[in-house]
Amino acid sequence: MRKIIKLFFWAVIAVMSGCESTSQQSQPKPVETTQPGFTKISIPDSSGQSSESSEVFQERPTSRHAQEMMAQSRPAREPATASVPEPPPIKKTPPPEPAKPRAQKDEQPAMTSSGGQADKLRVGDMIRVKLGGVPAEERRDEEFRINDDGTISIPHLPPVEVVGKSTGVLERHIEKLYREKRIFTHPTVSVMVSGRFVNVIGEVRAPQRISFTSDLTVLSALSASGGFTEYANKSAIRIQRGNQVITVNAKAALKDPKKDIPLHAGDTMEVRRSVF
Protein backbone atom coordinates (compact mmCIF):
# COMPACT_ATOMS: atom_id res chain seq x y z
CA MET A 1 0.00 0.00 0.00
CA ARG A 2 2.79 2.34 0.85
CA LYS A 3 4.53 1.54 -2.40
CA ILE A 4 1.46 2.51 -4.38
CA ILE A 5 1.17 5.83 -2.55
CA LYS A 6 4.83 6.63 -3.19
CA LEU A 7 4.49 5.80 -6.85
CA PHE A 8 1.42 8.03 -7.13
CA PHE A 9 3.18 10.85 -5.28
CA TRP A 10 6.20 10.70 -7.58
CA ALA A 11 3.95 10.59 -10.66
CA VAL A 12 2.17 13.76 -9.56
CA ILE A 13 5.50 15.50 -8.96
CA ALA A 14 6.76 14.39 -12.39
CA VAL A 15 3.61 15.74 -14.10
CA MET A 16 3.86 19.08 -12.33
CA SER A 17 7.57 19.50 -13.20
CA GLY A 18 6.79 18.70 -16.86
CA CYS A 19 4.11 21.41 -16.95
CA GLU A 20 6.51 24.00 -15.54
CA SER A 21 9.20 23.20 -18.15
CA THR A 22 6.60 23.39 -20.91
CA SER A 23 5.41 26.82 -19.75
CA GLN A 24 9.00 28.10 -19.62
CA GLN A 25 9.66 26.88 -23.14
CA SER A 26 6.48 28.53 -24.49
CA GLN A 27 7.55 32.06 -23.29
CA PRO A 28 9.22 34.16 -26.17
CA LYS A 29 12.86 34.97 -25.81
CA PRO A 30 13.80 38.66 -25.90
CA VAL A 31 15.33 39.77 -29.24
CA GLU A 32 18.75 41.10 -28.93
CA THR A 33 19.18 44.22 -31.04
CA THR A 34 22.80 43.93 -31.81
CA GLN A 35 24.39 45.64 -34.75
CA PRO A 36 25.90 43.53 -37.47
CA GLY A 37 29.47 42.66 -36.74
CA PHE A 38 29.07 43.30 -32.95
CA THR A 39 28.65 40.84 -30.00
CA LYS A 40 26.63 41.59 -26.85
CA ILE A 41 28.58 40.99 -23.61
CA SER A 42 27.62 41.54 -19.96
CA ILE A 43 29.96 43.26 -17.53
CA PRO A 44 29.39 42.22 -13.85
CA ASP A 45 28.87 45.04 -11.39
CA SER A 46 30.47 45.39 -7.95
CA SER A 47 28.10 42.71 -6.51
CA GLY A 48 29.29 40.18 -9.08
CA GLN A 49 25.94 40.13 -10.94
CA SER A 50 25.34 41.40 -14.47
CA SER A 51 22.45 43.69 -15.39
CA GLU A 52 20.99 45.20 -18.53
CA SER A 53 22.65 48.55 -17.85
CA SER A 54 26.08 46.88 -17.81
CA GLU A 55 25.66 45.24 -21.21
CA VAL A 56 27.87 46.68 -24.00
CA PHE A 57 28.53 45.80 -27.60
CA GLN A 58 31.94 44.57 -28.69
CA GLU A 59 32.95 44.49 -32.35
CA ARG A 60 33.01 40.94 -33.59
CA PRO A 61 35.70 40.03 -36.06
CA THR A 62 34.19 39.10 -39.38
CA SER A 63 35.60 37.18 -42.29
CA ARG A 64 36.92 38.87 -45.47
CA HIS A 65 33.97 37.62 -47.49
CA ALA A 66 31.52 39.04 -44.92
CA GLN A 67 33.30 42.39 -45.00
CA GLU A 68 33.04 42.51 -48.82
CA MET A 69 29.33 41.68 -48.65
CA MET A 70 28.76 44.43 -46.09
CA ALA A 71 30.66 46.94 -48.24
CA GLN A 72 28.53 46.07 -51.28
CA SER A 73 25.32 46.44 -49.28
CA ARG A 74 26.22 49.99 -48.21
CA PRO A 75 25.08 52.78 -50.55
CA ALA A 76 27.93 54.08 -52.70
CA ARG A 77 29.00 57.58 -51.89
CA GLU A 78 29.23 59.98 -54.77
CA PRO A 79 32.77 61.30 -55.21
CA ALA A 80 33.15 64.85 -54.07
CA THR A 81 33.58 67.09 -57.06
CA ALA A 82 35.42 70.33 -56.74
CA SER A 83 33.37 73.29 -57.83
CA VAL A 84 34.76 74.60 -61.09
CA PRO A 85 34.33 78.37 -61.51
CA GLU A 86 32.46 79.40 -64.63
CA PRO A 87 34.65 81.00 -67.29
CA PRO A 88 34.17 84.73 -67.76
CA PRO A 89 31.85 85.67 -70.61
CA ILE A 90 33.60 86.12 -73.91
CA LYS A 91 33.21 89.59 -75.31
CA LYS A 92 32.26 89.58 -78.93
CA THR A 93 34.43 91.90 -80.91
CA PRO A 94 33.33 93.12 -84.32
CA PRO A 95 35.27 91.61 -87.19
CA PRO A 96 38.06 93.78 -88.44
CA GLU A 97 37.28 95.90 -91.39
CA PRO A 98 38.84 94.60 -94.61
CA ALA A 99 41.92 96.50 -95.63
CA LYS A 100 41.30 98.93 -98.42
CA PRO A 101 43.31 98.09 -101.52
CA ARG A 102 45.99 100.59 -102.35
CA ALA A 103 45.33 102.76 -105.31
CA GLN A 104 47.20 101.73 -108.41
CA LYS A 105 49.81 104.01 -109.81
CA ASP A 106 47.53 105.19 -112.59
CA GLU A 107 44.76 106.00 -110.11
CA GLN A 108 46.83 108.34 -107.95
CA PRO A 109 45.86 111.97 -108.45
CA ALA A 110 48.54 114.38 -109.57
CA MET A 111 49.98 116.62 -106.86
CA THR A 112 50.41 120.33 -107.48
CA SER A 113 53.12 122.53 -105.97
CA SER A 114 50.48 124.12 -103.72
CA GLY A 115 49.67 120.75 -102.17
CA GLY A 116 46.34 120.30 -103.93
CA GLN A 117 45.24 117.33 -105.99
CA ALA A 118 44.66 117.32 -109.73
CA ASP A 119 42.70 114.44 -111.20
CA LYS A 120 43.54 115.06 -114.86
CA LEU A 121 46.13 117.07 -116.73
CA ARG A 122 44.91 120.16 -118.58
CA VAL A 123 46.11 122.63 -121.17
CA GLY A 124 48.58 125.12 -119.67
CA ASP A 125 49.78 122.78 -116.87
CA MET A 126 53.51 122.75 -116.18
CA ILE A 127 54.72 119.19 -115.68
CA ARG A 128 58.16 117.85 -114.75
CA VAL A 129 59.29 114.68 -116.51
CA LYS A 130 62.20 112.56 -115.25
CA LEU A 131 63.64 109.82 -117.44
CA GLY A 132 65.72 107.04 -115.84
CA GLY A 133 66.80 103.47 -116.54
CA VAL A 134 68.76 104.66 -119.56
CA PRO A 135 72.40 105.51 -120.27
CA ALA A 136 73.69 108.47 -118.29
CA GLU A 137 73.90 110.74 -121.31
CA GLU A 138 70.22 110.10 -122.13
CA ARG A 139 68.78 110.84 -118.70
CA ARG A 140 66.38 113.76 -118.57
CA ASP A 141 64.84 116.00 -115.90
CA GLU A 142 62.89 118.68 -117.72
CA GLU A 143 59.76 120.80 -117.41
CA PHE A 144 57.15 121.04 -120.13
CA ARG A 145 54.12 123.22 -120.59
CA ILE A 146 51.13 121.43 -122.05
CA ASN A 147 50.45 123.00 -125.42
CA ASP A 148 47.10 124.26 -126.60
CA ASP A 149 46.67 121.06 -128.62
CA GLY A 150 47.11 119.03 -125.40
CA THR A 151 50.55 117.65 -126.21
CA ILE A 152 54.15 117.91 -125.02
CA SER A 153 57.37 117.37 -126.95
CA ILE A 154 59.72 114.78 -125.44
CA PRO A 155 63.14 113.89 -126.92
CA HIS A 156 63.18 110.91 -129.37
CA LEU A 157 59.36 110.80 -129.50
CA PRO A 158 56.68 112.51 -131.59
CA PRO A 159 54.32 114.90 -129.74
CA VAL A 160 52.72 112.98 -126.85
CA GLU A 161 49.08 113.68 -126.03
CA VAL A 162 48.73 114.22 -122.28
CA VAL A 163 45.52 116.20 -121.69
CA GLY A 164 42.90 114.16 -119.82
CA LYS A 165 45.45 111.70 -118.41
CA SER A 166 46.59 111.36 -114.81
CA THR A 167 50.30 111.46 -114.03
CA GLY A 168 50.40 107.69 -113.45
CA VAL A 169 48.76 106.91 -116.78
CA LEU A 170 51.10 109.32 -118.56
CA GLU A 171 54.16 107.66 -116.98
CA ARG A 172 53.11 104.24 -118.25
CA HIS A 173 52.23 105.65 -121.66
CA ILE A 174 55.65 107.27 -122.18
CA GLU A 175 57.48 104.12 -121.01
CA LYS A 176 55.44 102.04 -123.45
CA LEU A 177 56.25 104.41 -126.34
CA TYR A 178 59.99 104.16 -125.64
CA ARG A 179 59.82 100.34 -125.62
CA GLU A 180 57.65 100.08 -128.72
CA LYS A 181 59.94 102.40 -130.66
CA ARG A 182 62.88 100.29 -129.42
CA ILE A 183 64.62 103.42 -128.20
CA PHE A 184 65.13 102.21 -124.61
CA THR A 185 64.68 98.70 -123.18
CA HIS A 186 63.84 99.39 -119.54
CA PRO A 187 62.95 103.07 -119.17
CA THR A 188 61.48 104.49 -115.97
CA VAL A 189 59.47 107.70 -116.25
CA SER A 190 58.30 109.97 -113.41
CA VAL A 191 55.78 112.77 -114.02
CA MET A 192 54.88 115.50 -111.53
CA VAL A 193 52.75 118.61 -111.92
CA SER A 194 54.91 121.66 -111.17
CA GLY A 195 52.03 124.07 -110.77
CA ARG A 196 48.86 125.49 -112.28
CA PHE A 197 48.49 129.09 -113.16
CA VAL A 198 46.32 131.67 -114.90
CA ASN A 199 48.03 134.37 -116.92
CA VAL A 200 46.58 137.90 -116.69
CA ILE A 201 47.87 140.31 -119.34
CA GLY A 202 46.83 143.61 -120.97
CA GLU A 203 45.42 146.75 -119.40
CA VAL A 204 45.79 145.81 -115.72
CA ARG A 205 48.00 147.52 -113.16
CA ALA A 206 50.06 144.39 -112.34
CA PRO A 207 50.11 141.83 -115.20
CA GLN A 208 51.25 138.49 -113.76
CA ARG A 209 50.81 134.74 -113.55
CA ILE A 210 48.38 133.85 -110.75
CA SER A 211 48.42 130.49 -108.97
CA PHE A 212 45.26 128.63 -109.85
CA THR A 213 42.68 127.83 -107.16
CA SER A 214 39.29 126.20 -107.56
CA ASP A 215 37.45 129.42 -106.61
CA LEU A 216 39.37 131.71 -108.99
CA THR A 217 37.03 133.83 -111.17
CA VAL A 218 37.41 136.70 -113.65
CA LEU A 219 36.81 139.42 -111.08
CA SER A 220 39.07 137.81 -108.44
CA ALA A 221 41.88 137.48 -111.01
CA LEU A 222 41.45 141.16 -111.93
CA SER A 223 41.59 142.12 -108.26
CA ALA A 224 44.78 140.08 -107.75
CA SER A 225 46.33 141.91 -110.73
CA GLY A 226 45.66 145.37 -109.29
CA GLY A 227 42.49 146.16 -111.25
CA PHE A 228 41.98 148.00 -114.54
CA THR A 229 44.02 150.86 -115.92
CA GLU A 230 42.31 154.00 -117.19
CA TYR A 231 42.61 152.68 -120.76
CA ALA A 232 41.03 149.24 -120.14
CA ASN A 233 38.03 147.99 -122.05
CA LYS A 234 35.96 146.69 -119.14
CA SER A 235 33.13 145.31 -121.22
CA ALA A 236 35.13 142.91 -123.39
CA ILE A 237 37.65 140.81 -121.44
CA ARG A 238 39.08 138.05 -123.62
CA ILE A 239 39.79 134.57 -122.10
CA GLN A 240 41.85 132.09 -124.11
CA ARG A 241 41.14 128.48 -123.07
CA GLY A 242 42.87 126.12 -125.40
CA ASN A 243 41.32 126.66 -128.82
CA GLN A 244 38.29 128.35 -127.28
CA VAL A 245 37.86 132.12 -126.78
CA ILE A 246 35.40 133.45 -124.20
CA THR A 247 34.39 137.12 -123.81
CA VAL A 248 33.26 138.44 -120.43
CA ASN A 249 31.68 141.82 -119.57
CA ALA A 250 33.21 142.88 -116.25
CA LYS A 251 30.66 145.66 -115.75
CA ALA A 252 27.77 143.19 -116.03
CA ALA A 253 29.59 140.72 -113.76
CA LEU A 254 29.81 143.38 -111.05
CA LYS A 255 26.04 143.73 -111.10
CA ASP A 256 25.21 140.02 -111.58
CA PRO A 257 27.60 137.56 -109.85
CA LYS A 258 26.31 134.74 -112.07
CA LYS A 259 28.15 136.34 -115.01
CA ASP A 260 31.45 136.21 -113.14
CA ILE A 261 32.59 132.91 -114.66
CA PRO A 262 35.22 130.66 -113.01
CA LEU A 263 38.65 130.35 -114.60
CA HIS A 264 40.50 127.12 -115.43
CA ALA A 265 44.14 126.28 -114.95
CA GLY A 266 46.07 127.36 -118.01
CA ASP A 267 43.65 130.13 -118.98
CA THR A 268 45.06 133.37 -120.33
CA MET A 269 42.95 136.43 -119.52
CA GLU A 270 43.62 139.52 -121.65
CA VAL A 271 42.21 142.99 -120.96
CA ARG A 272 42.35 145.00 -124.17
CA ARG A 273 42.66 148.76 -124.55
CA SER A 274 39.50 150.68 -125.14
CA VAL A 275 39.07 152.47 -128.50
CA PHE A 276 37.81 155.66 -126.87
**In 146-231, which ranges are E strands?**
151-152, 160-161, 188-195, 197-202, 208-211
Q: Which of 134, 161, 195 is the last residue of a domain?
A: 195
Three-class SS state of 44: coil
pLDDT of residue 265: 80
Which pLDDT does position 214 carry in this prediction? 76
Same domain, 168 and 229: no
Confidence of residue 93 (pLDDT cuts 50, 70, 90): low
Going 98 to 104 to 109 to 111, the CA torsion angle's sign is positive
Return the pLDDT at 18: 65
Residue 153 and residue 128 share a domain: yes
Tell me the range of 82-86, 220-224, 238-242 where mean pLDDT is highest.
220-224
CA angle at 170 for the pair 164 and 171, rounded to the nearest 5°: 165
- Residue 54 reports pLDDT greater than 90: no
Question: In this predicted model, which residue has the larger pLDDT, 274 or 100?
Answer: 274
Whether residue 157 lies inside any domain: the answer is: yes
How many distinct structural domains can be found in the chain? 2
Please determine, for residue 188, whether its predicted confidence score (pLDDT) is greater than 50. yes
| Per-residue pLDDT, 21 | 56
Cβ neighbours of residue 63 under 8 Å, at least 6 residues apart? none
Report which of residues 198 and 125 the model is more confident about.
Answer: 198
Measure CA 119 to chain center. 30
Is a pLDDT exceeding 50 seen at residue 194?
Answer: yes
The predicted pLDDT at position 266 comes to: 80
The H-or-E segment that residue 131 falls in is strand 126-132
Q: Average pLDDT in the 36-62 region?
A: 50
| pLDDT computed for residue 82 by the predictor | 52
Which of 43-47, 156-160, 209-213 has the least mean pLDDT?
43-47
Higher pLDDT, 33 or 192: 192
CATH of the domain at 181: 3.30.1950.10
**CA angle centred on 127, ends 203 and 218, rounded to 5°:** 30
First-last CA distance in the chain: 204
The Cα–Cα gap between 165 and 170 comes to 6
pLDDT mean over 113-122: 55
Condensed to tens digits (0 to 9), the pLDDT of residues 118-147 reads 468 887 788 889 999 988 888 888 888 888
- pTM for the model stands at 0.41
Please report, for the domain that includes residue 256, its CATH number: 3.10.560.10
Choice among 4-8, 171-175, 183-187, 238-242 with the minimum mean pLDDT: 4-8
Judgement on whether residues 212 and 154 belong to the same structural domain of the protein? no
Residues 6+ apart with CB under 8 A from 146: 121, 122, 123, 124, 125, 126, 127, 152, 162, 163, 266
Question: Which tops the pLDDT comparison, 266 or 77?
Answer: 266
Alpha carbon distances (Å) from 5 to 11, 12, 14: 10, 11, 14
pLDDT band at 5 (very low <50, low <70, confident <90, very high): confident
pLDDT range class, residue 91, cuts 50, 70, 90: low
Looking at every residue in the chain, the average pLDDT score rounds to 75
Domain assignment present for residue 181? The answer is yes
Burial track 56-87 (b if 16+ CB lie within 10 A, e otherwise): eeeeeeeeeeeeeeeeeeeeeeeeeeeeeeee
**Domain presence at residue 15:** no
Spatial separation of the C-alpha atoms in residues 199 and 177, rounded to whole Å? 32
User: Of 160, 156, 171, 195, whose CA–CA distance to 104 is shortest?
Assistant: 171
Looking at residue 108, its pLDDT comes to 42
Domain limits at 241? 197-273
